[in-house]
Amino acid sequence: MAEARYPVFAAGQTLTKDDLNLLRTFADGQDRLVARLMGFGIACGLSGRVTDGELRISPGLALDQAGNGLLLDAQFSVSAGTTAAMEAFDFIEVGPGGVTPVLVLGDTLEEAPECDEAGCEAHAATGVRRAEIVLTAGRLITAAGDFSTEPLLSEVPLTITRDGTVQGNFDRLRGVVLDRLADVGVTLPADVLARLSGLTLPATLLPAIRMYRAAFLNHVFFAALDLLRCRSLHTGACLHTAARPGVALGWLHVEAGVPVWDCRHRHDFEPPQGLVTALLGGGCDDPCELFENRLHALVRGYAEPVVPAPADPPKPPPDPEDFHICVKTSKQVAYRNLYRGIPTDCFDYVHPPELLPDWPDLYLEEQPPFRRPGLLPDPPPFDLVYAMDSVDFADAGVISLLPAFGAVAGDTRSVLQQVITGQQLTPDVRLMTQAEAAGLPGFAPQSSVSLGDTIVLVHDTQNKIVATGRITNQKVLKSAGAQVAGARDAADSALGAAQDAHAVAKGADTKVNQFGTQVTAISTQMTSLTGQVSGVQAELGGLRGTINVFGTSVAQVNSRVDGLAQRADDLSGLIQSRVDGFGERITAAEGLARQLQENLGGVLKTVAGFDLRIDEVYRSQFLGRDRGLVPRGQEVNSGLVDFFGVMRRAVEVAAATRRRPAVREELARGEAAMELLTVRAGREEPLVVSDRTAIATLVRSLVAAAERAGLSDDVMTEVRNTAETLLDRLGTPPAEG
C-alpha cells in the first residue's frame, strides 16, 4: 500500500533540512494525487498546425501520468522537417515513423546565492519547474492499436456465393470463437454454450438452412469481436503510469512529400471512471456486460423453421400471418433489447457476400469516443462490414423469408405477394431455378429482405423453395434507366439483324429478292409503329383527339401495334432460318409476310376510316343555316374529307421521322380546338359560327406539324393546297404571321 510521509512538528524541536524537504515532498504528492483525481491528458489548447514549413503548437494545459500540471504559456515552433535528436517514451511506438511532440515537466535546480550577511553560512538552492516540449520518433500507442493484435481479427468469416454455396470452415470458426472467449475469461451460460457448441453445417441440410446457419455464425463471430474490442478499450489502468511521464500532442509525418499534422494521435483528456459515472449516470456495472448480454440474446433467439429434406416433397404454403415484418421502430426496440439480454424475432441475419472487403479496418479506426471510459463503441453496421446495400435501404420494412423455406413455390409466392400488397406496396416476387437466380444481375442470397426489394424464391425440380434472395431496391432504381436504354438498343439491334438477314437472303433467287423487298417495306412500317407508338398516342396528341372524335378505339390500334411487334420478332427468326437453309421455309415466310401486310393494311384502313367518320360528324345537318353558318356546308364537309385524307397519308410518312419534340409542339396548338369539336360531336350538337375558328386552328396545327416533321416538298404541296381549299370554304382568313 502506498504511503505518504510528512514531518510532525513540536515545540523545542530542532528543524533540519530533511524535515523541510519532507514537507515539500508531501505537499507535492498531495497536489499530484488531487490532479490524478481530476484526470489525465490535454485539458485545453496545445493544438498544432504546419505553417510555412514550421510545426506550431499553441499554448495550453495538460496533466501527465504522475499528476503534474503542465502549462505551456507561449507558442512552440520547430521546423516541420526537423531531424533533431529524439527522446524515447514507453507510450510511443517507433514503427509508424514520423515525430511526436511530447509535453513534459522540466525540473532544474539553481545554485544558492552567495552568503553576504554576518553569521550566514549558506542560502537554500532554488528548484525551477517548467513545461517543455521534447520530440520523439514514432506515434502514440492507443487502445485501438492494442486491439490490432486480437487473434480473431486474423480469422476469415464464412461467405456465400451467388449459387448458394457456403464457403469456409463452419466448425473451425465456431470453435475458434468459443476458445477465444474462454481465453479472456468470458463464461457463457450453459444453455448458450450448449446451443452454440452443437451447431454444425451438414451437407444434408436444405441450402436455405445452410446459408441461414452460416449467416448466424458470422453474427456470433462479429458479436464476439465487439465484446473483445469493448474489453480492450476499457482495460486502461485507473492510475496511468509511465517510465517517464509526458503528454503526447499529436503526430507529425510526411505524406507524398508534404509534412502533415494528425491530432488524432495524442493524449485526449480522460477523466476518471467515477467522474464519468457521476456526469453521465450509471453505477458499478461493467460496461462491456452489455456486449455479453447481446451475445447471449443472439444465440438464444436463433430459430430455424421446420423444413423437409432436400429429397422430400415440399411442405404446404405458409399462412400470411406466418410472415413477420419488422419496421424501423420495432428494429430499434429489438436493438435495445439485445443489450438487455432479451432475444428478439426482429433481427436480420444478414447473409455475407462471396467476396468480403478488408473488414478488420473497421475495428481499428481511431475514434476518440472509444477512448472515453464508460462509453460504448458501437458495433460496425453490417452493410459496412460486408460492403453491401443496407437490408432496409428505403425504410419500407423488413420481412423474414424463413416461413417460405421448403414450401411449395407457386402458392408461397402468391401468399407473399398478398402480404406485401397488404402493406400498400407493389410486390415483385419471382420464381427461379438456382442457375437462373445466379445469373440474374444484382441477385444476392438473403433471408431477410426489404418489402421494396425484388424478392427471388429459388425452387428445385419438385417446385420446393430451397433458397431465397433479393435484388435490392436501390439497385433496381439505379439500373432502371440503363434497362430502358438497353431495351431500346436491343430493339435496334434486332431490327438491324433482321435487315442483315434480309440482305443475305436477297441474293438467293428472284423469289427471295421479292420477299426481301416486302420485308424492307414491313420493317419501315414496323419502325414507325413500334418505335413511334407515341405517334398514335402522346406524340401525335392532336391525332389522339381526332381518334376520339371519330369514335376510333386507341386500344385497338395499340393492340394491332403489339401484334405487329410480336410478329416482327417471329419474322426475324424466320428470316434467319431461311438464311441457314432455303426451301420450304420460303413459302412459310412469304405467307407470314402477306399476313403482316394484311394486318398493316388493317391499321391503315382504320386510319382511312376517318374519312367516313368525318363525313358523319360534319354532315350538312351540323352546318345548319339557322345559326348563321357558312351556307356552303356541303362544300366544307367535302373539304374536310379531302384534307384529312391528305393528312392521313402525311401521317404515314411523318410517323417514320424522329423529330418528335418539334411535331409535338405544333400539335399542341390544335388540342384545344380538337377538344371543343370532340365535345360538340359527342353531344350531336350543331356547329356554330365560332366553330369555324376551331376547325381552322386544328387545320393549321396539323399543317405546321407536317412541316416540322420534315416531309417532302410534293407531300407538303398537297397538304397545303387541300388546307387552303378547306380554309377558303370556311371563309376563314389566313393566319397572321
How does pLDDT run across 413-442, given as a tens digit for each residue?
999 999 999 998 899 999 999 999 999 998
Residue 277 — pLDDT band, cuts 50, 70, 90? low
Query: Last residue of some domain: 345, 363, 394?
Result: 394
Q: Is 118 within a domain?
A: no
The sheet with strand 60-63 has its strands ordered as 41-45, 60-63, 69-72
Q: What is the mean pLDDT of the chain?
A: 76
Residue-level pLDDT at 714: 80
Note whether 492 and 582 are same-domain residues: yes
Q: Could you give the CA distance from residue 318 to residue 94 in angstroms, rounded to a whole number?
A: 62
Alpha-carbon span 61 to 258, nearest angstrom: 29
- The strand ranges marked E within 256-370 are 258-262, 325-326
Orientation of helix 190-197 relative to helix 289-300, angle to 10°: 50
Residue 85 lies in a domain: yes
| Domain identity same for 518 and 597 | yes
Query: Does some domain include residue 318?
Result: no
Residues 6+ apart with CB under 8 A from 291: 223, 226, 227, 230, 339, 376
Query: Where does the pLDDT of residue 694 fall: very low under 50, low under 70, confident under 90, or very high at 90 and above?
Result: confident
Q: Is residue 146 part of a domain?
A: no
Q: Judging by beta carbons within 10 Å of its beta carbon (0-12, 13-18, 19+), is residue 671 exposed, middle or buried?
A: middle
Distance CA 615, CA 636 (A): 10
> What confidence tens digit (pLDDT) does each residue in 49-66 have?
999 889 999 999 999 999
Is residue 99 domain-shared with residue 247, that is, in the same domain? Answer: yes
**Is 585 found in the same domain as 488?**
yes
How far apart CA 579 and CA 515 sit, in angstroms, is 13
Q: Which residues pair with 470 in a beta bridge?
A: 444, 455
Q: Which residue has the cell 453445417?
A: 201
With cut-offs at 50, 70 and 90, classify the pLDDT of residue 684.
low
User: Is residue 542 in a domain?
Assistant: no
> Which residues lie across from 471 on neighbouring strands?
454
Share of the chain above pLDDT 70, in %: 64
561 or 196: which carries more pLDDT confidence? 196
Q: What's the CA gap between 275 and 290, in Å, rounded? A: 21
Among the ranges given (11-20, 351-360, 367-376, 645-654), the one the predictor scored with the smallest mean pLDDT: 367-376
- Which of 16-30, 250-264, 480-494 is predicted with the least confidence, judged by mean pLDDT? 480-494
Is residue 276 domain-resident?
no
pTM of the predicted model as reported, rounded to 2 decimal places: 0.53
Q: Could you tell me if 133 and 249 lie in one domain?
A: yes
Report the interhelical angle of 671-682 vs 541-549 (nearest 10°): 10
Beta-ladder partners of 468 = 457
Residues 638 and 692 in one domain: yes
User: Would you say residue 306 has pLDDT above 50?
Assistant: yes
Range with lowest mean pLDDT among 288-292, 555-559, 677-681? 555-559
Q: What is the pLDDT of residues 315-347, one digit of tens each?
A: 999 999 999 899 888 888 888 888 888 998 888
Claim to verify: residue 161 and residue 136 sit in the same structural domain: no
Label the pairing between strands 76-79 and 54-57: antiparallel
Domain shared by 82 and 179, yes or no? no
What is the residue range of 433's domain?
397-471
Residue keyed to cell 380546338: 673
> C-alpha cell of 254?
510526411
The predicted pLDDT at position 650 comes to 66
Q: Which of 542, 572, 603 is the last residue of a domain?
A: 603
Residue with cell 454455396: 165
Q: How many domains does the chain have?
A: 6
Residue pLDDT, tens place only, 701-731: 888 877 877 777 887 888 888 888 877 777 6
Helical spans, DSSP H, in 240-327? 273-280, 289-300
Q: What are the residues whose beta carbons fall under 8 Å from the beta carbon of 67, sequence distance 6 or more? A: 31, 32, 33, 34, 35, 36
Q: pLDDT digit string (tens) for 77-121?
A: 998 887 666 778 989 988 888 999 999 999 888 887 777 777 777
Closest CA to 425 of 458, 389, 399, 390: 399
Q: Could you give the CA distance from residue 405 to residue 322 in angstroms, rounded to a whole number? A: 12
DSSP state of 103: E
What is the distance of C-alpha 591 from the center of its chain? 52
In this structure, what C-alpha cell is assigned to residue 680? 360538340
Can you read off the three cell numbers belonging to residue 238?
Answer: 485507473
Higher pLDDT among residues 25 and 147, named by residue: 25
Cα–Cα distance for residue pair 56/47, rounded to 1 Å: 8
Among the listed residues 646, 642, 631, 645, the one whose alpha carbon sits nearest the alpha carbon of residue 730: 631
Q: Apex CA 647: angle with CA 645 and CA 652, to 5°?
A: 105
* Main-chain phi, psi angles of 464, to 5 degrees: -105, 135
Q: Which long-range contacts (C-beta less than 8 Å, at least 24 apart) are formed by 564-568?
A: 564/525, 564/526, 564/529, 564/530, 564/596, 564/599, 564/600, 564/603, 565/526, 565/529, 565/530, 567/592, 567/595, 567/596, 567/599, 568/498, 568/522, 568/523, 568/526, 568/530, 568/596
Task: Give helix 671-682 / helix 660-669 axis angle, nearest 10°.
Answer: 50
Do 424 and 454 share a domain, yes or no?
A: yes
**Section 210-215 average pLDDT:** 96
Which residue in 673, 664, 566, 651 sits closest to 606, CA to CA? 651
Q: Rounded distance, CA 618 to CA 615, Å?
A: 5
Helix (H) or strand (E) holding 167: strand 166-167
Model confidence at 556: pLDDT above 50: no
pLDDT of residue 495: 56
Kindly state the cell numbers that stand for 491. Answer: 430493339
Q: Distance between CA 503 and CA 520 in Å, rounded? A: 10
Going by DSSP bridges, is the β-strand pair 429-432/454-459 parallel, antiparallel, or unpaired?
parallel
Residues 9-31 pLDDT 10s:
889 888 888 989 999 999 999 99
**If residue 259 lies in a helix (H) or strand (E), which one and from where to where?**
strand 258-262
Going by C-alpha positions, the residue among 344, 174, 370, 196 that lies closest to residue 288 is: 370
Q: Which of 205-209, 322-326, 513-517 has the highest mean pLDDT?
A: 205-209
Nearby residues of 562 by Cβ (< 8 Å), 6 or more positions away = none
* Dihedral (Cα; 84, 86, 87, 89), 10-degree rounding: 140
Indicate if 614 and 590 belong to the same structural domain. Answer: no
Contact (Cβ atoms closer than 8 angstroms) between residue 496 and residue 570:
no
Strand intervals (E) in 556-596: none
- As a whole number of Å, the CA-based R_g of the chain is 43
Is residue 517's pLDDT more than 60?
A: no
Considering the domain boundaries, does residue 117 fall inside one?
Answer: no
CA dihedral over 35, 38, 41, 47, signed as positive or negative = negative
- Asked whether 470 and 449 are in contact (CB, 8 A), the reply is yes
290 and 196 part of one domain: yes
The pLDDT score that the predictor gives to residue 628 is: 38
What local confidence, expressed as pLDDT, does residue 678 receive? Answer: 65
Residue 581 lies in a domain: yes
Q: How many residues does the chain have?
A: 737
- Regarding whether 515 and 376 lie in a shared domain, the answer is no
